[in-house]
Amino acid sequence: MNPIFGGWFAESTWGCHMKRLIEILLTAGVFCGAAVASAHAADDLALRPTHSDIVRANNQVSLNVSGSYLDYLESSGSTPLDSERGWQPGLSLSGSVMTDIGLSNLYLYGNLSWSKGNSDYVGSFIGGNYGDVRQRDNAEIYNEDFRIGKGFEVNDALMLTPYLGLGARQWRRDITGAGGYREDYSHGYVGGGLLAQYSPAPGWVLGVNGLVGSTFSASMKTTATAGGAAITPQTYKLGNSAIYMVGASVDRAITDTVHANISVDYTNFNYGRSAVSPIDSTFEPDSRTSTVALKVGLGFAF
């Protein structure tokens, strides 16, 4: 499924249980957070210096439920061809380490996220106008993000961590209806970023981050679906582009071990037009993609 990372993810079978799973995780998170907060007095947190709060926030594993908004548009010059927009619920698992092994404040981070849901498709019939066709399509998206960097202490309450970012993205796009088929988009990315973290009070860590880089190995593979269009399955190599990623987060230490997390992340990139296929003279047009992901969950520091 993923030509960049060797197919880490098999096709999901969670979809039909997704809503129930998210409800369970949200309920468990609320009750768990309330129970632990009532069992530990806030005075326990006040004993720790703010710098250790930042380091502790960078040494944890967290599980989050998410809502991701997809905004995708294909175009020819300034003329829109088709678009997909909508929210998809999902899950994400992340982990980070800040250690002095080999380098002071060495920073390692990894995040795996998955979302699945519907999006609003707007397109046209062949020879028609944008907006002639409106329907609901299926979308399933995977993201893998990794960072390595070094933290620099500005003072006890502020740390700056420049990092190298590397990752990949896969989007399964199921265009429904009589003229439908499946498209699988994927790319990798690499870039440089900066994480700024500030502790305004004991137990609190606010973070902002940004990355500028480039996509690579961008492609789109088509697959015929039952009852859909009679297409010739093939893979189109897409043009790479700059990628921009920014985010903000709040980490609250409920205890020395249990943390509550909330974050928002924005990503923007383009796909360049493919070459004309020698098989059937088709091509994939230029497109741009923007996503916003809202996440909330619990972390466990170590």
Q: What is the pLDDT of residue 247?
A: 98
The verdict on residue 245 lying in a domain is yes
The verdict on residue 7 lying in a domain is no
The verdict on residue 8 lying in a domain is no
Q: Are 182 and 222 in contact (CB under 8 A)?
A: yes
Its domain, for residue 169, covers 15-301
In this prediction, residue 35 has a pLDDT band, given cuts at 50, 70 and 90, of: very low
What is the spatial distance between Cα 300 and Cα 233, in angstroms, rounded to a whole number? 45
Asked which of 116-130, 135-149, 164-178, 220-234 is least confident by mean pLDDT, the reply is 116-130
The verdict on residue 281 lying in a domain is yes
What is the spatial distance between Cα 67 and Cα 48, in angstroms, rounded to a whole number? 33
Q: Coil, strand, or helix at residue 109?
A: strand
The verdict on residue 212 lying in a domain is yes
Domain count for the chain: 1
Asked which of 11-15, 53-57, 160-164 is least confident by mean pLDDT, the reply is 11-15
- Reference 185, options 94, 281, 110, 289; nearest CA is 289
Q: Are 272 and 240 in contact (CB under 8 A)?
A: yes
Query: Per-residue pLDDT for 246 more than 50?
Result: yes
**226: Cβ–Cβ under 8 A, 6 or more apart, which residues?**
none
What is the spatial distance between Cα 117 and Cα 96, in angstroms, rounded to a whole number? 28
The verdict on residue 5 lying in a domain is no
Tokens 């990628």 belong to residue: 243
Residue 141 sits in a domain of what CATH number?
Answer: 2.40.128.100
Summarize the confidence of residues 20-33 as an average pLDDT.
46
For residue 197 the two structure tokens come to 């973290």
pTM of the model: 0.82
- Reference 255, options 190, 207, 302; nearest CA is 302
What is the spatial distance between Cα 112 and Cα 190, in angstroms, rounded to a whole number? 16
Residue-averaged pLDDT of the chain: 87
